Amino acid sequence: MQPLTWQEGVYAALKAAGIRQLGYVPDAGHAHLIKAAHADNDMRAVVMTTEEEGIALAAGAWLGGQRSALLMQSSGVGNCINMLSLPINCRMPLLMLVTMRGEWGEFNPWQVPMGTATRTVLEAAGVHVKRADHADEVAEMVAASASLAFDSAIPVAVLFSQKLIGAKVWVK
């Protein structure tokens, strides 16, 4: 049996955590998770037009007795700041998986400001932030972060470094 890729390990961790809904804004860094969720009859993949919709989706899932996770890129974190008051003030769990941009090998200067500020902004808003830089740590970190979010009813974000997901390349 071939060992799991880190992406397969993350999806297995989400399944083991009882995640039934996966909200996302399309992102190449999350392509494996999105494809796996769409192919899974036990998972509902919900495409969103903006990231803050995912916080409302997570709140609704929790109130309806289900667990969810939100996939986004670091550039989308800024769209969520005001909505983060919902899970924080209502003591609802929120698990966010964030692919980072504006770091290692970035070609797009517009990604750098939010990529640089992502951790600080999330922590200032009251989110517990973890960061995965190496493939061998990411599945376990997602599993532990899901436990922290759902057992403690708090928002938790796992940042997937740009080196982990691979830098995007500008094609002319």
146-164, pLDDT tens digit by residue? 999 999 999 999 999 999 9
Give the pTM.
Answer: 0.94
* Res 42: pLDDT: 96
Tally of structural domains, the chain: 1
- Domain assignment of residue 56, yes or no: yes
- Domain assignment of residue 37, yes or no: yes
Q: Domain containing 14 — which CATH number?
A: 3.40.50.970
* Res 141: pLDDT: 97
H-run or E-run covering 131? strand 128-132
Round to whole Å and give the CA distance between 34 and 132: 19
- Domain assignment of residue 169, yes or no: no
* Res 2: pLDDT: 59
Round to whole Å and give the CA distance between 170 and 117: 23
Round to whole Å and give the CA distance between 111 and 101: 6
* Res 4: pLDDT: 82
Domain containing residue 82: 6-163
End-to-end Cα distance, the chain: 40
Task: Kindly report the number of other CB atoms within 10 A of residue 10's CB atom.
Answer: 26
pLDDT < 50 stretches in the chain: none
